[in-house]
Amino acid sequence: MPVTSYLALGAVLFSIGLYGVLTKRNAVLVLFSIELMLNAANINLVAFSKYGLYANQTGQVFTLFTITIAAAEAAVGIAILFALYRNRNTTNADEFDSMKG
Amino acid sequence: MSDIAWLIPLFPLLAFLLLTMGARRFSDGVASLIASGAVLISAGLSVGVLIEKVSMVAPTTLRWRWLSLGDQSISFGVEVNQLNALMLVVVSVVSLLVHIYARGYMAGDRRVPAFYAYLSLFTFSMLGLVLSPNLLQLYVFWELVGVCSFLLIGFWYFKPEAKRAARKAFILTRIGDVGLFIAVILIFWQVGSFDWGPIFTAVEAGKVAPEMITLIALLIFVGAVGKSGQFPLHSWLPDAMEGPTPVSALIHAATMVAAGVYLVARAFPIFEASDIALDTVTYVGAFTAIFAASVGLVQHDIKRVLAWSTVSQLGYMMLALGSSGYVAGVFHLTTHASFKALLFLGAGAVITALHHEQDIRQMGGLWKTQRVVGWLFLLGCLAIAGIPPFSGFFSKEEILTAAWLDGRIDVFILGVITAFLTAFYMFRLFFLVFMGGKKAKVEETRVPRIMIWPIIVLALPTVGAGFLAWLPEHGFSHWLTEGTGIAAGPEGESPGWLPLLTVLISVVGIGLAWLRYGRGRVNSAQVEAEPAKEFSIHGLLSHAYYVDDLYRWVFVKPYRWISLALTWLDRYVIAGLVKGIGLLFQNLGRIGSTMQNGQAQTYALVSLLGLVILIMGLSAGRWFG
Amino acid sequence: MMEIAKALPTFILFSPLIGVAVILWLPRQKSQWIRMAGLLGTLPPLLFAFFLACQFNFTRGAVQFRQDLPWFSIPLGQQKWNFSYQVGVDGLSLPLLMMTAIIVVLAAIASFSIKKREKGYFLLFLLLEMGMLGVFVARNLFLFFIFFEVTLVTMFFLIGIWGLVNRERAANQFLLYNGAGSVLMLLGFIGLLTLFQTMDFDRLLGIMHDPQIMQMLAQNEMAQKVLMGAFLCISLAFAIKLPVFPFHTWMLKVHTEAPPPVVMIHSGILLKMGAYGLIRFGVELFPTQVKEIATILAVLGLINILIGAALAFVQKDLRRILAYSSVSHMGIILFGIASLNVAGLSGAVFQAVSHGFISALLFFFIGRLYERTRTTDITELGGLASPMPVMTGIFLVGGLALLGLPGLSGFISEFLAFLGLFHTQPIIAAVGTLGLVLAAVYTLRAVLTVGFGPTDTRWRELTDARWTETIPMLTMVGVILLIGVWPAVLGDPIQTTLEQIMARMGG
């Protein structure tokens, strides 16, 4: 089953991304890791659109949308990061705790 | 005439309303005129009713619906029979005289209109009590006279003693009232009505279980004990002397305290149906009579001597009723009302003359300066001591006859001893106040005439009321019991030696008082030196057998301690529990909030863990199944 | 004309909103105007309530002026839960409705002493009135619950913002307890909803008294459990509101910390919602279940009476004395309810109304006293009869009414409650009469310590009642006297309704 290897790749990528999100100190790296997770999801979508039970184009269309939104999201994320950096002079994620209750 | 009997209490009520509304707009004179005028009308009507009742004994009843209870309708109204026609006259006439008298006694007080307002309210309540055709209404007025008594005892509210006395009076009588309260309710569930008529019919027809009758009778008697100052609820009455003297004469001698006796007389068929109840009434009465008389021997305050004497005489009346001497009890109630009111008003005159000095050790020699008051006071003393031909002799003799004929020899002996003690302490009082040398340091003032006249009026029945007993063919007792189905007294012929014995006993008492206090042997220094030693008989008596202290240590203090303990419990245990539960949740919240450290990565980790647990949980079935 | 008369409960219910609208429109600086608007805003409900009382048919026990409008529904598969706007008045709610309308007006007068953020105060005050009126006219459990919550929320803010020193803690405790009560009530209501698919009170009444349905339910153990559970939840909710010992601590805090006009309303009306709820939802709706816990109710009543009286005896603060005395007097309501006969239940309703007026009177007095002396500690007060005879006189009358003096309303209620309970639980009732003596003990202690005795120099210059104080107080005294002297005025509407309830109970 060729789909298994794609899914395995997606799972590995997702796990790497998740690991990055949870452990990296640098906020830029966290942002990159989120991109990694998004791409893992994209791989799954594409894989299923080719080898899925009802193979059709929808998955690839969705992927295109996701890539677009991911780009926009990365832009917004970087912008927020810039703003934070200007205020705090750091990109260390541990120091961003203003959400504390 | 009896048809308009409902008007009798109405006038004092109107006077009360007028005086309360007008408050300070009335001058003292106008206020006293309004109140006295209202009572005058009531007294006139009452006399009219009594005269009518002499010839026509059928009871007259009027009623209005007050409250419905299911299909029961509780009504208010008036009922006039012989007993309450007599009481009406006693109450309204004494009240009238006291109203007039108070104009002189209370002159110069700051709150004369208020005083008259309270007096009017009291007169209204007392007349309403007397006219009640049913137990519930009686209870209502019963409490109202109690509250008037409370207000008037505490009339000089700025005096701490008056405050204490008023509170004590209210609470002790309230204890009795609760007994009556329960009795009223029990009667309602047993008989289905509050009216006297159906109650008596049911009791006579044996519709109520005998134990229940006994219980009800005893509870009614508890009410009477509270109101009439019988042992063990007697101790408020001497303290009630903190009130103005006219109040003491009206409420705490002639009328309200006699309400207990009136109640027992009114409910007499219930008592007659239960031997235990009658025995209780007799023995409580007899004990109170001798107990209070012995305390009266050593009191120093002129009004307190009279107050203890009132307690004792009320015990006498109870004794009479308990020995089935219905007429004797009611008769003594009537005569006592006149001579005790006379004595109190006389004492008030003495007190006024001596600028509100009440200690008999500071008095003496008033015979020379206050001849009229002296004579009147002497009449009262002779009457209460039971010297013929004064009224007290006749009624006392009837009581002792009743006790003898009822076969209660022990009670009879107690009664005779009490008669002796009564004669002794009354003449001790008389001799100390009127004989001997002058001790008053201040100049005596003249007693105003307006205070003398009421006493003179009261002297008439004091001297003459006794002859009611000599009406042809037992006219008085026959009239009082006609149509009520109550026996006038125990059957039998009274022994001929009995009047001789009572007179002899009284004379001995007077003689002893003369020997000890009258000949001028005992001067004030000696009376003052009457030892106040603890644990002597004298000390025991002057502290009234330490009953008050006993109550303080057995009831008041423990109740306070219990309450304080409960407060502690409430404040720390119950509130603590509440606070504890609050703290528990607060701390749980605090633990939870430490997880919220503001770092998105921790949140993500936690939610990941949650997801893992969720997935594991959902698939657990597959793994283990 | 008849159409208008039919909608009277609705008019009464929403007429406080006129005042709300006017006050919203007034600028916040015009405090004098806001006060007047607040006072005037309480008058329309009173007028409508009087009008309703005139139109009320006293010989009918059933609910009158019933209005039923569909509101919304929740579809659930095949069936549908319908929620309607249902209001109506019967002999049980009419006296309480009248009492609410009158006391709120007097409390509005007392509220003139509020000196901060008047706009918010009077807005909440009028909303609170709407909530209370709604509780008494609602004939639908859902509606009842909503109005019950309205009173809760408005009270929370009234205590928390305008209270005394520890106001915030008092408000919190108030909310915690009553919130717990509301949850229980909601649980009970939902239990009923799931069983019978309706929240219409009159339909539920029909169902609960239908022998066929009840027989059917008797076989279903689950349904029995739900029913009993719902009953217990609802009773407990109202027991907290009443309050029944030991759920009374919140009420002490409210009595001591809330501003006096709010305490007037709280002690006068809000506690009575507990009594009303217990009769309406306990006795009327659950006739079989309530019989099972009658003895427990009587015992709880006894505990309330005795412990409340004992605690009131040793308190130093006048407010605390009255708070504990309320605990004691609510015990009499429990007595009345526990007796489960017409006499006892009318005693309970009488007590609700009479104690409403008495405690409103006493707290009015305390409010005015506090304004003059800045203390309610009775050890500091004394001899106030000299500088202010009228005020003290009225206080004395209030005290006498509290201890159940005949001729004043307190006596009727105590008498009827005891009369009822002596028929069913004579022993408990007999012990309870001890409370009558204890009531005299603590009341006289309070009244005499404050009014009698020598006057402290500090209090020599106190001013006596002004007419703005005399009129409200005399109004309350008048009502207390009226009920005491001529109880039929209150008794007649109650009697017919209670007789109907008893007849339905079949005992």
HEC per residue, chain A: CHHHHHHHHHHHHHHHHHHHHHHCCEHHHHHHHHHHHHHHHHHHHHHHHHHCCCCCCHHHHHHHHHHHHHHHHHHHHHHHHHHHHHHHCCCEHHHCCCCCC
Preceding peptide of B461 cis, ω within 30°: no
Residues paired with residue C377 on neighbouring β-strands, in sequence order: C317
Tell me whether C344 touches chain B (CB under 8 Å): no
Residue B344 has pLDDT above 70, yes or no: yes
- The minimal CB distance from B593 to the residues A93, A97, A101 is found for A101
The model's pLDDT over B266-314, given as tens digits with 9 standing for 90+, comes to: 888 899 888 899 999 999 999 999 999 988 888 888 889 999 999 999 9
Q: Work out whether strand B72-80 and strand B60-69 pair parallel, antiparallel, or are unpaired.
A: antiparallel
Predicted confidence band of residue B625 (pLDDT cuts 50, 70, 90):
low
Question: Same domain for B395 and B348?
Answer: yes
Q: With an 8 Å Cβ cutoff, are B601 and A99 in contact?
A: no
What percentage of residues in chain A have a pLDDT greater than 90? 42
| CATH class as words, domain A3-90 | mainly alpha
- Residue A100: the pLDDT is 65
Distance of CA C4 to the CA centre of its chain: 28
Q: For position B485, what pLDDT does the model report?
A: 73
3 state DSSP class of B391: helix
The minimum CA-CA distance between B591 and chain A, rounded to whole Å, is 13
Q: Which domain holds residue B362?
A: 304-312+321-529
The answer to whether residues B80 and B60 touch, using CB atoms and an 8 Å cutoff, is yes
Q: Is C320 helix (H, G, I), strand (E, B) or coil?
A: helix
pLDDT per position as a tens digit, B171-223: 999 999 999 999 999 999 888 888 888 888 888 888 888 889 999 999 999 99
Looking at the fold, whether B407 and B457 belong to one and the same domain comes out as: yes
What's the rounded mean pLDDT across residues B231-243?
88
Say whether the A–C interface has 3 or more Cβ pairs within 8 Å. no
Please report residues of C whose CB lies closer than 8 A to that of B70.
342-343, 495, 499
Rounded to whole angstroms, the Cα distance separating A4 from A52 reads 11
Residue showing tokens 């009434």: B281
**Count of residues for chain C?**
507
CB within 8 Å of C148: residues ≥ 6 apart: C131, C135, C182, C185, C273
Amino acid, res. B204? E
Largest CA distance in chain B: 121
- What is the three-class DSSP state of B80? strand
Q: What is the pLDDT along chain C (507 residues), one digit of tens a residue?
A: 567 778 889 999 999 999 999 999 988 888 889 999 999 999 999 999 999 988 888 888 788 888 888 888 888 777 788 888 999 998 889 999 999 999 999 999 999 888 888 899 999 999 999 999 999 999 999 999 999 999 999 999 999 999 888 888 889 888 888 999 999 999 999 999 888 888 889 888 888 888 888 888 888 888 888 889 999 999 999 999 988 888 888 888 889 889 989 999 999 999 999 999 999 988 888 888 888 889 999 999 999 999 999 999 988 889 999 999 999 999 999 999 999 888 899 999 999 999 999 999 999 999 888 888 888 888 888 888 888 888 888 999 999 999 989 889 989 999 999 999 999 989 999 999 999 999 999 999 999 888 888 888 888 888 887 888 888 899 999 999 999 888 888 888 888 888 888 888 874
Q: Nearest to residue B482, comparing CAs of B328, B333, B337, B327?
A: B327
Residues from chain B contacting residue C418 (CB–CB below 8 Å): 181, 185
Assess whether B605 and B493 both reside in one domain. no
Please report the pLDDT score of residue A39 as a whole number.
Answer: 92
Sequence-ordered alpha helix ranges (H) in C111-140: 118-137
Distance between CA atoms of C454 and B163, rounded to whole angstroms? Answer: 10
Contacts of B208 (CB under 8 A, 6+ apart): B190, B191, B202, B216
- For residue C49, what pLDDT is reported? 92
Cβ C416–B157 below 8 Å, yes or no?
no
pLDDT in tens, B505-561: 889 988 888 888 877 655 555 555 555 545 577 777 777 788 888 888 888 888 889
Length of chain A: 101
Strand partners, C76: C79
**For chain C, how many structural domains are there in total?**
1
Q: How many CB atoms lie within 10 A of CB C458?
A: 12
Cα end-to-end span (Å), chain B: 102
The pLDDT value given to residue A36:
92
Q: Are B242 and B169 in contact (CB under 8 A)?
A: no
User: What pLDDT shows up at residue C132?
Assistant: 94
Best of B601, B606, B612, B615 to substitute, by most chain A Cβ atoms within 10 angstroms, is B601
Residue B489 lies in a domain: yes
DSSP character string of B256-278: GGGHHHHHHHHTHHHHHT-HHHH
Q: Do B601 and A93 touch (CB under 8 A)?
A: yes
Tokens at residue C333, please? Answer: 């309501």
B217/C497 Cα distance (integer angstroms) = 36
For residue B518, what pLDDT is reported? Answer: 72
Q: Which two structure tokens, joined as six digits, stand for A17? A: 């991304």
Positive or negative, the Cα torsion across B264, B265, B269, B275?
positive
pLDDT at B57: 67
The closest alpha carbon to C240, from C253, C250, C230, C254, belongs to C250
Nearest CA in chain A to B601: A22
Q: Cβ–Cβ of C437/B139 closer than 8 Å?
A: no
Chains linked to B by 3 or more Cβ pairs within 8 Å? A, C
Q: What is the DSSP letter of B60?
A: E
Would B332 be classed as within a structural domain?
yes
Secondary structure letter of residue B471 according to DSSP: S
Is A23 in the B-facing interface, judged by CB distances under 8 Å?
Answer: yes
| Composition of chain B by helix, strand, coil, percent to 5 | 75, 5, 20
B512 exposure class (CB count in 10 Å sphere: 0-12, 13-18, 19+): middle
Residues of B in contact with A22 (CB under 8 A): 601, 604-605, 608
CB pairs under 8 A between B and C: 119
Q: How many structural domains is chain B composed of?
A: 3
Section B96-115 average pLDDT: 87
Residue with tokens 């644990």: B535
Which residues 40-79 in chain B show a CB within 8 A of chain C?
A: 65-70
pLDDT of residue B530: 54
Cβ distance A78 to A91 under 8 Å?
Answer: no
B497 occurs within a structural domain: yes
Cis peptide before C246 (omega within 30 of 0): yes
At B519, list the tokens: 């000949």
| Cα–Cα distance, C1 to C502 (Å, whole number) | 34
Does some domain include residue B107?
A: yes
Whole-angstrom Cα distance, residue C476 to residue C360? Answer: 8
| Residue B535 confidence (pLDDT) | 57
Per-residue pLDDT, C396: 92
Q: Is the CB of B162 inside 8 Å of chain C's CB atoms?
A: yes
Across the interface, which of A18, A23, A97 has its CB nearest the CB of B597? A97
On whether both B88 and B122 belong to a single domain, the answer is yes
**Per-residue pLDDT reduced to its tens digit, B25-64:** 788 888 888 889 999 999 999 888 888 888 776 777 777 8
Separation between Cα atoms, residue B227 and residue B129, nearest integer Å: 13
B447 lies in some domain: yes
Name the nearest CA neighbour of A21 among A6, A7, A4, A38: A38
Element (H, E) at B204: helix B196-204
B524 and B606 in a common domain:
no
pLDDT of residue C386: 82
Q: What's the DSSP call for residue B362?
A: G
CB proximity list for C202: less than 8 A, separation 6 or greater: C63, C66, C86, C88, C139
Partners of B78 in the β-ladder? B62
CB-based contact, A93 to chain B, within 8 Å:
yes
Same domain, B469 and B325: yes
Q: Tell me what the mean pLDDT of segment A1-8 comes to.
A: 85
CB–CB of B238/B199 below 8 Å?
no
**Sign of torsion over alpha carbons B300, B303, B305, B308:** negative
Tokens describing residue B452: 């003398």
- This prediction's pTM: 0.87
Residue B469 or residue B389, greater confidence? B389
> Mapping DSSP to helix (H, G, I), strand (E, B) and coil, where does residue B230 land?
coil
Confidence of residue B20 (pLDDT cuts 50, 70, 90): confident
Percent of chain B beyond pLDDT 90? Answer: 17
Decide if B17 touches C, using CB distance below 8 A.
no
Most confident of A70-79, B513-522, B582-591: A70-79
pLDDT tens digits, B123-181: 999 999 988 888 888 999 999 999 999 999 988 888 888 888 999 999 999 999 999 99
Q: Which helix (H) or strand (E) holds C86?
A: strand C79-89
User: C194 or A91, which is more confident?
Assistant: C194
Say yes or no for a CB contact (<8 Å) between B181 and C343.
no
Is residue B437 within 8 A of residue B523, CB to CB? The reply is: yes
Residue C250's domain comprises 2-505
ipTM for the whole complex: 0.91
Which residues face C73 on adjacent strands? C82
Alpha carbons within 13 angstroms on the beta-carbon side of residue C78 total 0
Compute the distance between CA of residue C440 and CA of residue C402 in angstroms, rounded to an integer.
Answer: 8
Alpha-carbon distance of B472 to B336, in angstroms, equals: 23
* Residue B214 belongs to a domain: no
Q: How far is B63 from B53, CA to CA, in rounded Å?
A: 19
